[in-house]
Each structure stands twice: as structure tokens, then as C-alpha cells.
Amino acid sequence: MSVLKNVSRRTNRSRPASISYAIAFALNLAALLLALGCSQTARLDASQDAKPELRVGTSGDYAPFSVREPHLSHVPRGFSIGVAEAYAKHTGREIRWIDFIWPNLAPDLAADRFDLALSGVTVRPDRSILGRFSLPLTISGAVALVPAESALKTRSDLSRMGVGIAVNAGGHLERTARKLFPEARVVPIATNAGVLGALDRDGISAVITDTLEAPHWQARRPGLRPIGPLTQDRKAAWFPVSREQEARRFDLWMLAAEKEGTLAALREQHGLPNARTATPTAALLSSLDERLSLMIDVAQAKQILGSPIEDLEREARVLAAAGRGIERAAEEYGTQAPPDAAIRDFYASQIEAAKSIQRTWTAHAPPPAATTKDVQLRAQTTLDQEIRPALIYLGDRIARLVSRVLAEGDRAPTRSELTLALARHNLPEARIDAIADAITALLEEGDRR
């Protein structure tokens, strides 16, 4: 009995302590859950406040497009920077700037390091195949800068044996310099910022830049004289293939920004030409040019494969797809598609121009070397998986631009504008006439509808 009483006493004494412990544990647990809930809510609120990210690749060394001054700001400045900021604001995103160096631009793009590159990137065929360009933002041309007292006066002077020419390594201008001046000694400089200073080196007689950067260099070093422009180039945003939808979205924004004057204001602010490159008509001409620029790559692949330039079965498929593309685009823009015959003539004129370029290249190309099955397989893969998808992308863009011209009542291009836009291809007059007539008929028939 005494034992039971002792147990009872011990149990009764421990009960208040157990209750107190349970109450304290419950209160602590509630406080912890409340804290966790508040923390989770705070994280949700923060995620709701945070904007999605737009990764923009830029060089920071190319005035007037992208110049980084570390002591002034962590954000670069320039025309391309202004364009990126306007687009990011339009799409409700925050920009993360990602630096690149020109020799690594293509590998960085292929590796999806950024969503787009905006830094005065020049449109050229190999890049059109590797990625997807936007509509042109501006135009430029390569120039050489020489001291005022230099005996060098013309392009042919620059191409003489022994003439030293400095240029930014890995960029479009190095390729241009080697093509334009095959006899000269082209000296690549590791950074664009270091090219101008190369004029102080022995044996360097000229530096290569373009019409937009040249005034900045001449201001830094008075007494330089330009030779050129030597080319006609377009600058655009460049997207990885995986960002095709982003590129289309950017194009739509560009067309609107051109129409409302946003791009014109940015060009004026940064001293760029006032050419309105993103009107529907101007964009249509540049897209025709970009698509035809890929025809030498097509011809090279066909030469390796031993394939004929003319493939009527494929041409029929292209024409059928083109017709469907314009019909879809017309529906999207709320306008009626032109007649089938006008669409067919428009695309057939492009096909004939494309074959003309391929035949001209093939006629002047060296005889094909003996090729192995591996070489032919690579050529077929390149043609099917890289070149033709790029051609399809540009074909779709052309269809949308035709419908945009019709929807907005933009004027048809003149023959002289078409000739200038396609000048690099050295097309016969008959091919230019055919494209000009087909565009005029297409747009006039569309207007009548």
C-alpha cells in the first residue's frame, strides 16, 4: 500500500511538469510554423516582385553600340544597350548583362550563354546559319583609317604586298579585311580597344573599323583619314537557334518601335544613320538579301554531294509551303492573302535568283576534291539540319513581312531599292527585274483584295 501511495505521489507530482512541457512544446511548434509560414510568404512575395531575366550578351568595347566604363557604371552604354533596355521594359524583364569577347561570340551563342547578343553584331551568312538574326537595327560599312599624310589612298593601295593592317581579332572585320586585302599583312589585335593604338607599331599602316565607330576613333586620334566605306553591312540582334520564338517576338517589337519612333530616337541619340531599317518594306528587302546570302553555302554542300543545282521536286514543295505561310500570316494580320499566282511568281523569282547565285559560284569554284563518305555525310547533315532550317526561318519571316506590308499599307519597294539591297549577289538584270515585278504584282494584287 505504501508503495502504491509513493507511486501515486510521484505520478501526481510529475503530471504538472509533463503538462507544462507539452504546452511549451506546442507553443514553440506553433511559433516555428508561424515563422516558417511568414518566411515562405516572404519568399513568395519576393518571387512575385522579381521580374523574369533577359540575358543579353554584349562586348563593351565597340562604340557607339556597347562601351563599358568600369569606373562610371557597371552597366555599359551605347545604342545596343538602349535597344536592349527598351525591349526588356516592353517585355517586363530585368537584364543580366553577360560580357563576351569577339573570338568567342559564336561559341558562346551556340552554348546558350545568353538569350541574345546586342553589340553591333554584323549580319553574315555563317551567322545566319548558326543562329537567328533579328530585323536590321542599322547599317554600316567597313573603312580603313590611315594617317592624313599616308600615301595610301584607295582600296587597291591597301591590298599591296607588305602593307600592315591592324583589325580586331575574331570579329566580322577581320574576315572582311582578309577578303578585301589578300596581299596585305593583316594583324589581328586581341581586343577592339587595342586596335587604334596599333598604328604606333612599326609596319602598321592602317586600322580597320566601320563607318559608325570611325568618328569615335578619329576624335580620340585627330589627323586620321578614312578610306571607304568598303562594304555595306547590316547590324542586328543575334539569337541562338533555341531562342527562335524570342527572335520573332523581338522582330514584332522592332516593327512597332520603328513605327512609333523609338528606334529613330535611339539612333539620333547615339549618332547613327537615320535609315529606318525596320519598316515592313525595308525589312522585307533585307530578309530577301539574307536568304539569298545562304545560297553559296547551299552550292558548296551540293558540290560535295554531287547534287544538281536544280531540284524541281523540292522547288514544288518550297512553293507550296510558301503559299501556306503567306495565308497563315495574312490571317494573323487580319488581311486577305494575295492570289495564288502572285504568291507563286514572287517565290519562283527568288528560287531562280538563288539558282543563279549557285551556278555562278559553282562555275568559278575550284574542281571538287575527292570526298569520303564521312565528308559527304557532314555536308548532308549541314544542309539538312543547319542551312535548310535557316532558310525556312527566313522564308517564314518573308511571308509575315509581305502580310505586314499589306496590313499596314506600306509602299512597295522601288527597283533601285531592290537593286541596292541585293547588290552583293551580282545578279543578272533579268533576275532583278523578275523579283521587282513579282513584288510589285504581289503587293498590288493584295491591295486590290
Under the banding of pLDDT at 50, 70 and 90, the label for residue 74 is confident
For position 39, what pLDDT does the model report? 45
For position 193, what pLDDT does the model report? 87
Under the banding of pLDDT at 50, 70 and 90, the label for residue 200 is confident
Mean pLDDT value of segment 58-80: 87
Task: List residues bridging with 187 in a β-sheet.
Answer: 166
C-alpha dihedral (391, 396, 400, 406), degrees to nearest 10: 70
Task: Write down the mean pLDDT value for the chain.
Answer: 88
Question: Between helices 388-408 and 429-448, what is the axis angle to 10°?
Answer: 50
For 154-186, the pLDDT digits (tens) are 999 999 988 999 999 988 999 999 999 999 999
Residue 19 has pLDDT above 70, yes or no: no
Mean pLDDT value of segment 220-243: 95
**Per CATH, domain 279-448 is 1.20.59.10:** yes
All 3 cell numbers of residue 439? 513584288
Indicate the range of 59-68, 286-295, 332-341, 419-428 predicted with least confidence: 332-341
CATH class held by domain 148-226? alpha beta
For residue 170, is it left (φ>0), alpha (ψ between -120 and 50) or beta? left
Cβ(101)–Cβ(59) below 8 Å: yes
Residue 446 has pLDDT above 70, yes or no: no
For position 71, what pLDDT does the model report? 66
Mean pLDDT value of segment 113-138: 97
For position 21, what pLDDT does the model report? 40
Residue 136 backbone dihedrals phi, psi, to 5 degrees: -65, 140
pLDDT above 70: percentage of residues in the chain: 87
Residue whose C-alpha cell reads 517586363 in the numeric block: 92
CATH superfamily of 52-141+232-278: Periplasmic binding protein-like II (3.40.190.10)
For position 14, what pLDDT does the model report? 39
The pTM for the full model equals 0.83
For position 445, what pLDDT does the model report? 65
Cβ(52)–Cβ(92) below 8 Å: yes
Contacting residues for 305 by C-beta, under 8 A, at least 6 apart: 376, 379, 380, 383
